[in-house]
């Protein structure tokens, strides 16, 4: 009898989806007491569920009727026909809540809700769009932390960069020389590059490309003199043609430097603050020669002081604890405010200036939001940071993926260092720019161009072959095909997704480098690399350590990439999860 009553209830309230899954008439209980204990709560729960569904249906119907009624009432006030598409109902249901209007006029509550949402959205936009500027500011502060606080002071990773320094996806395969130029303070500045320099680049305060030096630069590893002009320079010097496509002849011009006629390349920056980052290649797997090259050949000084320039000071950044990464909390906005105050108005376009101004970051004015605005920005930064992480580690843009059906992605989506999509008709790919600068530094055409044997190209992977996160407590294998297309060398580095810097482990460097590490190759020329908390027996030379209960990701680099890399006839395989023994 009890089962029959329940069955009737289900029929009355049209809960058909349960009838198929619960063959109630076949359920038999040994006692009536058991029937009551089991079925009574079920009946009550099903009645409540059914009532809720009916209420939802009624609410939906009521809202639709109310919406029509709203328009009927509004339209009744007009003497001619008015299309409803230009009207606003008195009640609008949205993702930020119900919005109320009186004949198109928002109520006080709606006004407050909408402005809170506008400020929130603009706070998110400023985070995503100003990451390049905040990253250069983070680099400037990190260099000061190391003592690089003047034009003639340069940080060199004499013993290579290691995981102690927080540096966005830095490598342990080249010897960095890093300096900060202040063109507002020092005016036109001379940079002398020694012969043999690897990839070098000058980026402005919004991480825009200014000029390449060394291997991808106009000197093409032969060395030479560059003059960098400030954005407000109005003298006789003019920028020269410095691109790779201009190497067909000597583009240098004659300039008096310290009373001596010199042939120089000239570039002009759009900002006062500029980051100079140079890389020297290892010789016989060691950094000594590159370190010596920087100490003896790198010179930086103001053009006005060329007769008697100050002596260079080099600071070893290896083994040092320092941070060059921007904030992911409210401090981010303070970093941007510092940049806006420092740089000229022309540094960024009116559209970007307007975004910053909308949340109170305005040149010549203090950034001091009230309690309401600060609370909104503290929430906006959380959503902005989460958005940047989703874009960076799990891009939805199919053009981000290097190889069909695989997890490897590129930092230069659209193959353009300005992130102008394809033919430029779609404008700037904002998510692509966010992806790059949230994870990386150094913006140069050399990383985006496909010129065989020149520059460097990168590939990132944060997931295994099944699309799962790479877990530090698990073990993985990466099989790399034979004949890696790298004229100079290749490397793979493990990074921490929290800091986007090298993963801190018991190993000195969380990487493998074909130039300096005794990697064991298979007979067919392929190589198996292993990743996990402990080395597989006999595979120590090919193992990179990971940390239990921490995620990780990698960057693969090919220096001097060759044609099989560009035409994808050579492809990286995905990480394969190994079963624990």
Least confident of 55-64, 252-261, 371-380, 464-473: 55-64
Question: Is residue 354 included in any domain, yes or no?
Answer: no
**pLDDT tens, residue by residue, 153-197:** 999 999 999 999 999 999 999 999 999 999 999 999 999 999 999
Cβ–Cβ under 8 Å, residues 544 and 510: yes
Beta-sheet pairing, 486-496 with 475-480:
unpaired
Model pLDDT, residue 449: 81
- CA-to-CA separations, 188 to 192, 209, 229, in angstroms, rounded: 13, 17, 5
**pLDDT tens, residue by residue, 85-101:** 999 999 999 999 999 99
Confidence label for 20 from pLDDT (cuts 50, 70 and 90): very low
Q: Any idea what the CATH number is for the domain that residue 290 is in?
A: 2.60.40.1610
Q: Is 439 exposed, middle or buried (0-12, 13-18, 19+ CB in 10 A)?
A: buried
User: Which of 53, 73, 93 is at the close of a domain?
Assistant: 73
Least confident of 31-45, 172-186, 359-373, 546-560: 31-45
Cα–Cα distance for residue pair 178/170, rounded to 1 Å: 12
For 474, the token pair is 């698990």
Question: Is residue 460 included in any domain, yes or no?
Answer: yes
- CA-to-CA separations, 23 to 26, 44, 50, in angstroms, rounded: 6, 19, 19
User: Which of 323, 340, 366 is at the close of a domain?
Assistant: 323
Asked whether residue 2 carries a pLDDT value surpassing 50, the answer given is no
Asked whether residue 6 carries a pLDDT value surpassing 70, the answer given is no
Residue 94 CB neighbour total at 10 angstroms: 10
Beta-sheet pairing, 189-193 with 299-302:
antiparallel
Regarding whether 254 and 139 lie in a shared domain, the answer is yes
Model pLDDT, residue 425: 80
Residue where the block lists tokens 């010129």: 451
Regarding whether 150 and 68 lie in a shared domain, the answer is no
Cβ–Cβ under 8 Å, residues 176 and 156: yes
Question: Is residue 397 included in any domain, yes or no?
Answer: no
Tell me the average pLDDT of the chain: 90
**pLDDT tens, residue by residue, 458-506:** 999 999 999 999 999 999 999 999 999 999 999 999 999 999 999 999 9
Confidence label for 375 from pLDDT (cuts 50, 70 and 90): very high
Q: What does the pLDDT average to over 325-344?
A: 98
Say which residue, 114 or 47, is predicted with more confidence: 114
Q: Any idea what the CATH number is for the domain that residue 489 is in?
A: 2.60.120.600
Model pLDDT, residue 34: 45
Cα–Cα distance for residue pair 149/144, rounded to 1 Å: 5
Cα–Cα distance for residue pair 490/478, rounded to 1 Å: 14
Confidence label for 48 from pLDDT (cuts 50, 70 and 90): low
Number of structural domains found in the chain: 3
Question: Is residue 19 included in any domain, yes or no?
Answer: yes
Q: What does the pLDDT average to over 537-564?
A: 96
Model pLDDT, residue 49: 54
Beta-sheet strand order (sheet of 105-106): 91-94, 97-102, 105-106
Regarding whether 257 and 143 lie in a shared domain, the answer is yes
Model pLDDT, residue 451: 84
CA 356, chain centre distance (Å): 20
Question: Is residue 442 included in any domain, yes or no?
Answer: no
Least confident of 38-47, 409-418, 522-531, 532-541: 38-47
Model pLDDT, residue 223: 98
Asked whether residue 260 carries a pLDDT value surpassing 60, the answer given is yes
The listed range with the strongest mean pLDDT (25-29, 202-206, 243-247) is: 202-206
Regarding whether 139 and 286 lie in a shared domain, the answer is yes
Confidence label for 446 from pLDDT (cuts 50, 70 and 90): confident
Question: Is residue 109 included in any domain, yes or no?
Answer: no
Model pLDDT, residue 12: 46
Confidence label for 31 from pLDDT (cuts 50, 70 and 90): very low
Cβ–Cβ under 8 Å, residues 380 and 402: no
Percent of the chain with pLDDT over 70: 87
Confidence label for 447 from pLDDT (cuts 50, 70 and 90): confident
Regarding whether 276 and 163 lie in a shared domain, the answer is yes
Model pLDDT, residue 135: 98
Q: What are 55-63's contacts with CB under 8 Å, separation 24+?
A: 63/93
Cβ–Cβ under 8 Å, residues 333 and 217: no
Asked whether residue 436 carries a pLDDT value surpassing 60, the answer given is yes
Cβ–Cβ under 8 Å, residues 544 and 530: yes
User: Which of 323, 340, 363 is at the close of a domain?
Assistant: 323
Asked whether residue 40 carries a pLDDT value surpassing 60, the answer given is no
Cα–Cα distance for residue pair 276/516, rounded to 1 Å: 26
Which of 461, 467, 470 is closest to 550 using CA atoms? 470
Cα–Cα distance for residue pair 9/536, rounded to 1 Å: 62
Regarding whether 202 and 305 lie in a shared domain, the answer is yes
Regarding whether 241 and 154 lie in a shared domain, the answer is yes
For 326, the token pair is 């921007």
Q: What does the pLDDT average to over 282-294?
A: 96
Question: Is residue 410 included in any domain, yes or no?
Answer: no
Percent of the chain with pLDDT over 90: 82
Regarding whether 284 and 158 lie in a shared domain, the answer is yes
Regarding whether 162 and 57 lie in a shared domain, the answer is no
Which H or E run includes 506? none
Q: Cα 333–150–228 angle (5° rounding)? A: 85
Regarding whether 155 and 263 lie in a shared domain, the answer is yes
Q: What does the pLDDT average to over 235-262?
A: 96
Domain that holds residue 18: 2-73
Which of 546, 572, 457 is closest to 494 using CA atoms? 546
Regarding whether 285 and 180 lie in a shared domain, the answer is yes
Which of 205, 206, 125, 95 is closest to 381 using CA atoms? 125
Regarding whether 21 and 148 lie in a shared domain, the answer is no
Q: What does the pLDDT average to over 292-316?
A: 98
Which of 385, 390, 411, 387 is closest to 399 using CA atoms? 411
Which of 476, 392, 465 is closest to 431 using CA atoms? 392
Question: Is residue 391 included in any domain, yes or no?
Answer: no
Residue where the block lists tokens 């190497």: 247
User: How many residues does the structure list for the chain?
Assistant: 581
Say which residue, 421 or 257, is predicted with more confidence: 257
């Amino acid at each position: 009898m009890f089962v029959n009553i329940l069955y009737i209830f289900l029929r009355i309230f049209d809960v058909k989806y349960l009838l198929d899954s619960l063959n109630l008439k076949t359920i038999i209980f040994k006692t009536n007491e058991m029937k009551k204990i089991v079925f009574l709560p079920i009946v009550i729960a099903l009645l409540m569920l059914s009532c809720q569904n009916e209420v939802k249906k009624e609410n939906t119907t009521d809202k639709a009727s109310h919406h029509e009624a709203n328009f009927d009432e509004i339209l009744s006030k007009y003497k001619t026909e008015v299309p409803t598409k230009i009207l606003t109902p008195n009640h609008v249901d949205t993702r930020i809540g119900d919005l109320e209007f009186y004949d198109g006029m928002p109520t006080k509550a709606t006004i407050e809700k909408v402005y809170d949402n506008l400020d929130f959205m603009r706070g998110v936009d400023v985070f995503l769009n100003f990451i390049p500027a905040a990253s250069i500011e983070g680099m400037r502060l990190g260099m000061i932390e190391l003592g690089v606080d003047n034009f003639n002071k340069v940080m060199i990773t004499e013993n290579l960069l290691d995981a102690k320094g927080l540096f966005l996806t830095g490598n342990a395969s080249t010897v960095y020389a890093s300096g900060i130029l202040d063109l507002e303070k020092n005016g036109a500045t001379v940079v002398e590059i020694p012969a043999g320099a690897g990839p070098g680049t000058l980026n402005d305060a919004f991480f825009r490309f200014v000029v390449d030096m060394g291997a991808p630069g106009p000197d093409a590893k032969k060395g030479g003199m560059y003059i960098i002009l400030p954005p407000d320079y109005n003298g006789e010097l003019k920028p020269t043609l410095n691109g790779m496509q201009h190497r067909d002849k000597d583009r240098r011009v004659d300039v008096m430097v310290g009373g001596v006629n010199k042939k120089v390349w000239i570039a002009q920056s759009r900002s006062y603050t500029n980051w100079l980052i140079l890389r020297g290649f290892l010789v016989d797997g060691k950094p000594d020669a590159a370190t010596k090259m920087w100490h003896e050949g790198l010179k930086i000084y103001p053009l006005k002081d060329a007769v008697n320039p100050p002596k260079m000071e080099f600071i070893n950044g290896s083994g040092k604890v320092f941070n060059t990464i921007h904030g992911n909390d409210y401090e981010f906005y303070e970093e941007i405010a510092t940049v806006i105050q420092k740089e000229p108005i022309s540094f960024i376009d009116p559209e970007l200036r307007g975004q910053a101004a909308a949340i109170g970051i305005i040149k010549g004015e203090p950034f001091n939001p009230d309690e309401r605005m600060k609370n909104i920005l503290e929430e906006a930064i959380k959503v902005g940071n989460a958005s940047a992480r989703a874009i960076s580690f799990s891009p939805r843009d199919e053009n981000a993926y290097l190889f069909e059906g695989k997890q490897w992605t590129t930092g230069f989506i659209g193959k353009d260092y300005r992130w102008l999509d394809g033919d430029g008709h779609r404008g700037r790919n904002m998510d692509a720019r966010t992806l790059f600068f949230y994870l990386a530094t150094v913006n140069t055409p050399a990383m985006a161009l496909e010129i065989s044997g020149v520059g460097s190209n990168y590939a990132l992977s944060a997931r295994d072959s099944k699309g799962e996160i790479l877990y530090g407590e698990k073990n993985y294998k990466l099989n790399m095909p034979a004949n890696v297309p790298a004229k100079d060398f290749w490397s793979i580095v493990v990074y921490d997704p929290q800091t986007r810097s090298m993963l801190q482990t018991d190993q000195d460097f969380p990487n493998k480098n074909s130039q300096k590490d005794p990697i064991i190759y298979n007979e067919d020329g392929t190589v198996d690399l292993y990743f996990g908390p402990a080395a597989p027996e006999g595979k120590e030379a090919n193992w990179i350590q990971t940390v239990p209960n921490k995620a990780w990701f990698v960057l693969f680099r090919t220096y001097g990439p060759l044609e099989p890399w560009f035409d994808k006839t050579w492809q990286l395989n995905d990480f394969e999860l190994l079963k624990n023994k």
